Structures are given as structure tokens and as C-alpha cells.
Structure 1
Amino acid sequence: MNSAIKKIFSVIALVLLRYGLGIALIWLGIMKFKNIEAEYLQDLLANTTIFKWILKYFTAYAFSQMIAWIQIVAGVLLLIHPFAPKVSRWGAVLAMLIFLPGIIVFFSSDVVWLTGYGFPELSRTGQILLKDFILFGVAAGCFSEFK
């Protein structure tokens, strides 16, 4: 492939990955302020042994709001990369911390499988959590500056 074309697509990919992740985090963070997100989170936490303890200390709505603010801050930090690349790396760290629990839940909970079918049939929750693998990878790429 022509090196100029390869360079153009590389730049497009890096821009879309970084800024797409930033926009997605802000968008998802804003959605977390809705009651329906808190209800979904309540069900997910209540049915996941490793994170069930959180509900002893926080209401689902309060926990959802904390996650919302972390997502929004992470997204903004990713978006300021041209002006403050070192500060922007903290957005990538926050993003990895946001997506890591989803990966843990994916491997440690039976709520990811469609009841009565098992592997490879994912439940709606499993389908939602599957994206965390890719988004964690994008965040790791942003942290490493895609080098």
C-alpha cells in the first residue's frame, strides 16, 4: 500500500479512536444521570457476586452518578489531548478504570449468558459488556500514545 495512503488512514484511525472514545465517555456519562441507568446498574451489581458489596454503601443512583462524573471527566481529558497531552493521559487511565469492571463482570458472572443456552449465546448484559474489551483497548492505546 502506498505509504502516503497508509499514513492518512493511520491518522484518521488515531483521531477517531481518541476523540470517539472521549465523545462516547461523555455521552455515556450523561446517560448515567437517568434513573433507567441506575436501575440497570442496580440489577447488574445485585447479580454479580464480586461487586454486590457496593450496594451496601451506595444507592444505585448515587453510584451511577459517581460513575457518570468519572466518565465525563475522562472524556473531557481525552478531548484536550492537543493542548495538554500529559494531562490527557489521565483520561485514558480513568477510561481503563471505567471499563475494567465490565471485563471482570464478563468473566465472573452468569448474567452475561442467555438463560438456558450458555456459551456462546450472550444475554443483553453480555452484549453490553462485550464493548468494554474494545474500549479498554482504545483507552490503553490512548495511554500509550498509540506507539
Structure 2
Amino acid sequence: MNGTVLKINKESRTGRIGYYISLFGAALVLLWIGIFKFTPTEAEGIKHLVENHFLTFFVYDIVSVQTVSDAIGAIEIIIALLLLFSVKFASLRKYAAIGMIVTFLMTISYLFTTPGIWRMVDGVPVTDFFILKDLMLLGFGLMILNEKNDHK
């Protein structure tokens, strides 16, 4: 039995529409969440994720909760802008993709490093589902990194 091979034809109208919906959707999510990181509510909301991660557990010993959140927000906004500007400047696409991949690998890893993030509800394991959206965004970042720079 042969599996299917996904080949996105960006020369077709539906391929272009799908690509740009994904690009602008990813940029919107990154921009919106990045802006929200500058609020005290979000800074407190991500604290338990950051302080329990093996790569970031120490940052609150150096800077404040809000400063950490602001830095993460700035990174997310920069990646969103790189994505948006990559529509006109293809050379930025690679940097946007790398930023997306690193960012979303990090956020997905919180599912494995944060105590209590998984719980049982009516016999079904559930988590903070907002992190699961990053699986799709990680996939899109990998697709962008893999594509040739001749995209129109």
C-alpha cells in the first residue's frame, strides 16, 4: 500500500490561497499573542511554564516576570513581522521559519516540563490546549524553511 505524498502547488490558485492564509494566520497569531505578552496578566500566566522548564528555570533570578514576558513578546512580534515582510522580501522567509521552529519547539516542550499541565477530565487526558496550536505553526515553519526562494 502506498501512502500519499503532499505536494503543494503554489502555482495553482488554491495552493496560493492556502499558503497565504497560513502565512497571514501565523503572523496574526504571533502578533496578537506577542502583544498580549506585554500585559501583567499574560506575564503571570506564563510564569509557571518558564520557571519549570530546564532551559529557562533561572531567568526569574536575573530579571522580572514582566521583563521575561516582554522579551518573549518582542521575539514573537519580530517573527510575525518577518513573516509579513517575507511576502515582499523572500530572503526573510528563512529567518521567519527558523524563528517559528525554535519558538514552537520551545512552547510545545512545556507540555512535557510543566508539572500539572496534564489532567484527567471525564476520563480523557487534557492540557492547556492553547499550546497545541503550536503543532500546526511548527509544521508551517518547517514547510516555509523547506520551500525554495522562488515563491511568487
TM-score normalised according to structure 2 size: 0.79
Aligned residues: 139
Displacement of 1:143 after TM fit? 1.9
TM-score normalised according to structure 1 size: 0.81
Displacement of 1:63 after TM fit? 0.7
Q: Which runs of 4+ in 1 moved over 6 A?
A: none
Aligned match of 1:56:
61
Aligned match of 1:75:
80
Deviations 1:49-69 (A, max 9, x none): 523222222222101100111
Alignment of 1:1-147 (within 5 A): 7-46=12-51, 48-50=52-54, 51-114=56-119, 120-123=124-127, 126-145=128-147
Does the Cα contact within 8 Å between 1:21 and 1:75 map onto a contact in 2?
yes
Q: Which amino acid aligns with 1:134?
A: M
Q: Which amino acid aligns with 1:62?
A: T
Gaps of 5+ in 1: none
**Secondary structure of 1:110's match?**
coil
Deviations 1:18-69 (A, max 9, x none): 12111211111111111100001112223x2523222222222101100111
Displacement of 1:120 after TM fit? 4.4
Residue identity over aligned pairs, in percent, reads 22
Over aligned residues, Cα RMSD in angstroms? 2.5
Provide closer, same or farther for how the CA distance between residues 44 and 82 of structure 1 changes in structure 2, counting only shifts above 3 A.
closer
Measured in 2, the distance between the counterparts of 1:18 and 1:92 equals 11
